[in-house]
């Protein structure tokens, strides 16, 4: 076993431990101060639940990352095939961008902010990721496009950052869904980075994964009546979306030179996000077709539709996680066998067929309810 992996595992363990210590304290304070997410007609939960679980994410990730990197540096282990100054620059800009989104998320969880304010901060945070040179410079032959000039690559990168961050935020609609999808995504991205021997990025992914584990158990199995349940809120979803954006963009930059088809790592990175990314497109198109504001919430997300088929909340969560795992495995198997554009087309067809099947399930469930009333 490569000794660098011990640091990654150590970071994961520190994050899990800190999460187990801090999250119950957040629960206690939230219930004492009555900092609740109140139920309404758009939400699935029926009891007031604290939504400050994400308050623990950024501090735990930062402490775990800095502690392990400090120990590693003190013991004399070098950065693996990476420019130390470049990594430090990226980390500092990333830390500032994460802090900005974290603070905006906390503010939104406590007093609510308009989507315009959140978009602005997301764009500014995205610019901070781009500053040290992390931008998508190639599509690897997707749609016949290879190398991308900087004046197109930077706007595309900003769009991807805002897109991913909001997709994670919007999919956070039922217990365990957003955190479960992020666990899968971070585990896959962290493993890919470890295989590439880019252990700093792997450490970032696994520390984020680590703090999610205790949160996921409180979120899914916690009892709201006993004060053991909480949501991640925008502080959590925005932080996670930003971290995942950095990892996806980093893997999209690597080994995508002019004339080469898209690499497997880039395909795998985006495959982990197919469910939230495709769901955002479907929801926005539906809202525009209904002449509604695409930025205002409704009950037409993937999980809402599955609930309308008659599924229980936990069954919906497990189903969507399985769908995500299916797309990851499916795309990983076919990544080297067919052109990327055809793989994307197949994914879209499969997603569309899935939505049509769910629509049929919704109609059948409505017919059953109507028959019962009659």
- Is 367 known to sit in a ligand binding site? no
Which residues lie closer than 8 Å to 248 by C-beta, 6 or more apart? 160, 164, 189, 269, 270, 273
Tokens, residue 33: 């101060």
Q: How far apart are CA 339 and CA 143, in angstroms?
A: 10
DSSP secondary structure letters along 131-162: TTT----B-TTGGG--B--HHHHHHHHHHHHH
- Is 234 known to sit in a ligand binding site? yes
DSSP secondary structure letters along 247-283: HHHHHHHTT--TTPPPPHHHHHHHHTTHHHHHHHHHH
Q: Angle formed by the axes of helices 84-111 and 233-253, to 10°?
A: 150
* CA nearest neighbour of 192 among 69, 13, 8, 319: 8
Q: How far apart are CA 133 and CA 311, in angstroms?
A: 45
* CA nearest neighbour of 297 among 1, 69, 43, 16: 43
Q: What is the CA radius of gyration of the chain?
A: 21
CB-based contact 194:5 (threshold 8 Å): yes
Q: Which residues pair with 147 in a beta bridge?
A: 138
**310 CB burial (10 A radius; 0-12, 13-18, 19+):** middle
Q: How far apart are CA 13 and CA 366, in angstroms?
A: 47
Which residues lie closer than 8 Å to 289 by C-beta, 6 or more apart? none
Instruction: Give the three-state DSSP class for 309.
Output: coil
Q: Which residues are annotated as a binding site for Mg(2+)?
A: 169, 234
Q: Which residues are annotated as a binding site?
A: 169, 234
């Amino acid at each position: 076993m490569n000794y660098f992996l011990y640091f990654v595992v150590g970071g994961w363990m520190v994050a899990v431990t800190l999460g187990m210590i801090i999250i119950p304290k957040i629960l206690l304070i939230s219930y004492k101060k009555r900092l609740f997410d109140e139920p309404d007609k758009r939400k699935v939960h029926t009891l007031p639940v604290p939504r400050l679980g994400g308050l623990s994410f950024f501090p735990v990730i930062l402490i775990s990352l800095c502690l392990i990197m400090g120990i590693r540096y003190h013991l004399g282990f070098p950065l693996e095939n990476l420019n130390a100054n470049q990594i430090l620059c990226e980390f500092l800009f990333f830390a500032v961008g994460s802090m900005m989104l974290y603070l905006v998320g906390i503010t939104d969880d406590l007093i609510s902010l308009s989507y315009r304010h959140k978009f602005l901060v997301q764009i500014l945070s995205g610019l901070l990721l781009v500053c040290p040179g992390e931008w998508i410079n190639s599509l690897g032959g997707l749609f016949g496009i290879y190398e991308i000039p900087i004046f197109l690559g930077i706007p595309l990168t900003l769009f991807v950052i805002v897109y991913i961050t909001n997709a994670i935020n919007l999919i956070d609609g039922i217990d365990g869904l957003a955190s479960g999808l992020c666990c899968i995504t971070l585990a896959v991205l962290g493993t890919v980075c470890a295989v590439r021997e880019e252990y700093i990025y792997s450490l970032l992914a696994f520390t984020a994964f680590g703090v999610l584990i205790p949160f996921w158990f409180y979120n899914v199995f916690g009892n709201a009546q006993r004060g053991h349940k909480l949501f991640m809120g925008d502080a959590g979803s925005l932080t996670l979306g930003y971290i995942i954006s950095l990892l996806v963009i980093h893997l999209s930059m690597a080994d995508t030179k002019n004339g080469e088809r898209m690499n497997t790592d880039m395909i795998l990175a985006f495959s982990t996000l197919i469910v939230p990314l495709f769901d955002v497109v479907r929801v926005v198109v539906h809202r525009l077709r209904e002449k509604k504001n695409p930025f205002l919430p409704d009950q037409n997300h993937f999980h809402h539709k599955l609930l309308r088929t008659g599924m229980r909340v936990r069954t919906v969560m497990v189903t969507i996680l399985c769908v995500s795992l299916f797309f990851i495995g499916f795309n990983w198997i076919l990544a080297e066998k067919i052109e990327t554009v055809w793989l994307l087309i197949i994914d879209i067809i499969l997603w569309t067929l899935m939505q049509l099947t769910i629509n049929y399930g919704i109609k059948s469930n409505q017919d059953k309810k109507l028959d019962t009333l009659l």
